[in-house]
Amino acid sequence: MSELVYTLLEFCHVAKIDEQLVMEFVEHGILEPELGQDQWLFRSDALSRCLLAERMRHDLQLDLHGVALALQLIERNQKLRHRIDYLEQLVERLRH
Amino acid sequence: MDFKDYYKLLDLPPSATQEEIKRTYKKLARKYHPDVSEEADATAKFQEVSEAYEVLKNKDKRAEYDELREYVNNPNQFQNAGASHGRFNSDASAESGLDDLLRSIFGDQGGFGGAASGFNTQRGGGFDSRGQDIRYDLGITLEEAYAGGKRSIRLSTPGVDKTINVTIPKGVTQGKELRLKGQGEPGNGKGAAGDIFLTVSFLKHPLFEADEDDITLVLPVTPWEAALGESVEVQTLGGKVNLKIPAGSQNGKRLRLKGRGLGNGDQFVMLKLVNPPIESDADKAAYEALKEKFSFNPRDSMARRV
C-alpha cells in the first residue's frame, strides 16, 4: 500500500495535472521518476511534491526554475523544523 | 456571503492598472500562501487574496465587478436599471467568486434578466468527473510504526461516512503518505472514486523520541554506573535488551543499538547522570568524602579558553 508506483498517465490522472506540465516538472528536476521498462515510474511520494509544485507555479506565478528552488527551500525548512522539534523534546527529557 | 471589496483586500485604489494588480497579488501570495507563510490565518487570507485576483486579473470580470461595486456603493443610481442587471449574467461570472457575490446581492432567484442559468455552475466539474480525494492525518504510536499493524478509522466527510481498515506498514516514518485507492468520495457519473491519503504523524511517546527512522531514549544513570561501567536493561520498541555502559562515560554520552530503530534505523541511548539526593547525615558524609578525595575542577577548561 505504501510504495505504489504510477506510470506517467496514471500519475497525471491522479494528480489531475496535464501531461505536458508533468514532463516539464521532470525536465526541471522537480520530479525525478525512475526509469522502468521504457517508461517513467513515479513513486507515491512524488504526488504530494507534484501538487506542491503546481500550487507554487499557479498560486505564486513562479517559473519552473523558481518552483524548483521554492520546493528545495520548503523541504529544507521542513527538515529543520522536524530537527528542532526533536532536539527541543530531547532537551526537555534531559532536563527533567 | 457579504459583498467583498476586492480593491480593499489588495490595498489598491480602484484605478489600479492590471500591472499593479498583478504585482500586488504576487507579493501578497508570497506573504500568505499556506505552503510558505508563517502568518496565523494564512489560509483564509490567501483565499481572499486569490479570490480577488481571480476576478480583477481578467478585464471582463473586472469590468463586471466594477459595475457591481458601483451598484453596492450607490444603489440609488441603479433604481431604474433593472434591464441592465442582465449583464451580470455573463459567462465571465461563472466559476469565480463573482458568481457567489452576485448571488449574495441579488438572491438566488435569478430574477433579473430572467436568466438564472448563468449561476448554476456545476461545482466540481462535469458529469463524469473523478470523486474528491480525502486527506487525513493518521496519528500512530511509535510501537505501531515499529511493528506495523492494522487500524480501523472512521472517516466522516460530506460525501463519505464509513469505517476503513488501514494497514500500517512496518517501519513507517513521520510524514509518510499512505494511499487507499478508490476509497475516497464517489465520482460523478462514470467517474472513478477518489482516493484516501493518510499522512502519518507520531503521537508523543512517554520514553522515546523519533528523528526520521532513528529512535532516542534518554537513560538516567548514577555517577558510579557511568564512571565504573555497568550492564543495564533498557527499553527498545522491540522489547528490553541489555546495554553495556562503558567505564568512564560522561553525561550526554550517546550509545548506539544498531537496527533497533524504525525500519533500518537505530536506537540511540543518551546517558543522563542523576545525582542521588542527600537524605541522611551518612549520605552527606559520602559526598564530602568524594570532595576530599578528588581535587577535580570541571571548570578548568573554561579558564583556559578566556
Give chain A positions within 8 Å (CB) of B176.
2, 45
Q: Is residue B129 part of a domain?
A: no
> Which of the two residues, B29 and B161, has the higher pLDDT score?
B29
Residue in A14, A48, A74 nearest the CB of B36: A74
Q: Dig out the grid coordinates for B226 from the structure.
A: 557511568
Asked whether the CA dihedral A61, A65, A71, A72 is positive or negative, the reply is negative
Does the pLDDT at position B164 exceed 70?
yes
- Number of domains into which chain B is organized: 3
Does the pLDDT at position B126 exceed 60?
no
Structural domain that includes position A87: 5-95
Helix (H) or strand (E) holding B245: strand B239-245
Give chain A positions within 8 Å (CB) of B22.
61
Give chain A positions within 8 Å (CB) of B211.
82-83, 86
CATH number at residue A15: 1.10.1660.10
- Stretch 25-44 of chain A: residues touching chain B, C-beta under 8 Å: 44
Q: Is residue B216 part of a domain?
A: yes
- Number of domains into which chain A is organized: 1
Q: Dig out the grid coordinates for A76 from the structure.
A: 529544507
Q: Of B92, B154, B145, which Cα lies nearest the Cα of B263?
A: B145
Say whether B177 and A48 touch across the interface (CB within 8 A): yes
Question: Which residue shows C-alpha cell 533497533?
Answer: B260
Give chain A positions within 8 Å (CB) of B174.
82
Q: Is residue B91 part of a domain?
A: yes
Cβ contacts from A onto B, under 8 A: 64
| Residue B291 and residue B239 share a domain | yes
Say whether A61 and B29 touch across the interface (CB within 8 A): yes
Whole-number average pLDDT of chain B: 85
Q: What pLDDT does B245 receive?
A: 98
Asked if residues B183 and B196 have their Cβ atoms less than 8 Å apart, the reply is yes
CATH number at residue B53: 1.10.287.110
Q: What is the pLDDT of residues A61-78, one digit of tens each?
A: 999 999 999 999 999 999
CA dihedral B93, B95, B97, B101 (to 10 degrees): 50
Phi and psi of B235, rounded to 5°? -80, 140
Out of B154, B187, B202, pick the residue that ends a domain. B202
Q: Is residue B125 part of a domain?
A: no
Give chain B positions within 8 Å (CB) of A56.
35
| Residue B161 and residue B115 share a domain | no
A14–B contact, CB cutoff 8 A: yes
From residue B289, give the alpha-carbon distance in Å to each of A29, B44, B283, B295, B298. 66, 66, 10, 12, 18
Say whether B270 and A90 touch across the interface (CB within 8 A): yes
- Percentage helix, strand, coil for chain A under 3-state DSSP, each rounded to 5: 65, 10, 20
Q: What is the pLDDT of residues B208-232, one digit of tens each?
A: 999 999 999 999 999 999 999 999 9
Asked if residues B46 and B34 have their Cβ atoms less than 8 Å apart, the reply is yes
Asked if residues B56 and B62 have their Cβ atoms less than 8 Å apart, the reply is yes
Distance CA B147, CA B153 (A): 18
Cα–chain center distance at B44: 15
Q: Dig out the grid coordinates for A90 from the structure.
A: 530531547
Out of B163, B181, B202, pick the residue that ends a domain. B202
Distance CA B130, CA B193 (A): 6
Mean pLDDT, residues A39-61 taken together: 91
CATH number at residue B217: 2.60.260.20
Q: What pLDDT does A14 receive?
A: 83
Give the minimum alpha-carbon distance from A45 to chain B in angstroms, rounded to a whole number.
7
| Residue B107 and residue B140 share a domain | no
Mean pLDDT, residues B146-175 taken together: 89
Residue of B nearest to A92 (CA): B218
Give the count of beta carbons closer than 10 Å to the beta carbon of residue B241: 13
Neighbouring C-alpha atoms within 13 Å toward the C-beta of A80: 6
Residue in B172, B180, B195 nearest the CB of A14: B195
Q: How confident is the model at residue B123 (pLDDT cuts 50, 70, 90)?
A: very low
**ipTM exceeding 0.90, yes/no:** no
Mutate to test the interface with A, among B49, B53, B129, B179 (most CBs of A within 10 A): B179
Give the count of beta carbons closer than 10 Å to the beta carbon of residue A74: 15
| Residue B15 and residue B104 share a domain | yes
Does the pLDDT at position B80 exceed 60?
no
Strand partners, B209: B216
Structural domain that includes position B286: 206-306
Q: How confident is the model at residue B103 (pLDDT cuts 50, 70, 90)?
A: low
A80–B contact, CB cutoff 8 A: no
Does the pLDDT at position A1 exceed 60?
no
Q: How confident is the model at residue A47 (pLDDT cuts 50, 70, 90)?
A: confident
| Residue B156 and residue B114 share a domain | no
- Stretch 59-78 of chain A: residues touching chain B, C-beta under 8 Å: 59-61, 70, 74, 78
| Residue B219 and residue B193 share a domain | no
Residue in B25, B35, B209 nearest the CB of A86: B209
Q: What is the pLDDT of residues B5-41, one digit of tens each?
A: 999 999 999 999 999 999 999 999 999 999 999 888 9
Reduced to 3 states (helix: H, G, I; strand: E, B; else coil), residue A62 is coil
Out of B162, B182, B202, pick the residue that ends a domain. B202
Give the minimum alpha-carbon distance from A91 to chain B in angstroms, rounded to a whole number.
10
**DSSP 8-class letter at B40:** T
Does the pLDDT at position B114 exceed 90?
no
Residue in A61, A74, A86 nearest the CB of B35: A74
Residue of A nearest to B214 (CA): A86
Mean pLDDT, residues B66-81 taken together: 77
> Which of the two residues, B156 and B241, has the higher pLDDT score?
B241
Angle between helices A19-27 and A64-95 (to 10 degrees): 70
